[in-house]
């Protein structure tokens, strides 16, 4: 079996196209399953201090709390996560992006955005919350949302 890699900008950055002979389909699919990233994080419940895993799909935003982060979920729950915002750069490939000095937002939860004052941006999530994007991150967020 030979692997041929061709790189280009014909597809979105989130897209990878795999083509091959149908006799290799099962082998390739099982290899891809082993490459999938863990989509959960270990958080601390603030009511009972217990550790639990939650899916990143349910996270709306992270806010900074010094050496910890506060996790806001789409259902309104709040947890603590033992990481700083800077350490969450790996979440960018899962749809998260820094929007200001204190917040990382799940862009998959954004339903609308509008320009604000002083080159800032307001984004609105599915839960109805509004987040302010600083002008430093505004252009990057506009590009990722379009």
Q: On the CB side of 146, how many CA atoms lie within 13 Å of its CA?
A: 7
For residue 36, what pLDDT is reported?
65
Residue 101: how many CB atoms within 10 A of its CB?
A: 10
For residue 81, what pLDDT is reported?
96
Burial class (CB in 10 A: 0-12, 13-18, 19+), 132: middle
> Cα–Cα distances in Å, from 116 out to 40, 119, 120, 121?
33, 6, 5, 5
Q: Is the torsion defined by CA of 37, 72, 84, 139 positive or negative?
A: positive
pTM strictly above 0.85: no
d(CA 69, CA 56): 14
For residue 10, what pLDDT is reported?
81
**pLDDT averages per 10-residue partition of the chain, 146 residues:** 77 78 86 73 92 94 94 95 90 91 95 88 94 94 88
Residue 133: how many CB atoms within 10 A of its CB?
A: 25
């Amino acid at each position: 079996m030979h692997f041929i890699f061709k790189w280009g900008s014909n597809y979105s950055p989130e897209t990878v196209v795999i083509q091959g002979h149908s006799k290799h389909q099962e082998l390739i699919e099982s290899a891809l399953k082993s490459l999938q990233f863990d989509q959960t994080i270990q958080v601390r419940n603030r009511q009972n201090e217990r550790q639990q895993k939650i899916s990143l799909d349910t996270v709306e935003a992270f806010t900074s709390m010094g050496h910890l982060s506060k996790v806001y979920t789409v259902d309104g729950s709040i947890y603590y996560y033992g990481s700083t915002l800077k350490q969450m750069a790996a979440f960018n490939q899962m749809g998260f992006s820094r929007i200001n000095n204190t917040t990382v937002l799940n862009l998959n939860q954004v339903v609308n955005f509008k320009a604000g004052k002083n080159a800032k941006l307001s984004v609105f999530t599915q839960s109805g919350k509004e987040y302010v994007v600083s002008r430093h991150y505004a252009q990057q967020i506009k590009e990722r949302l379009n």
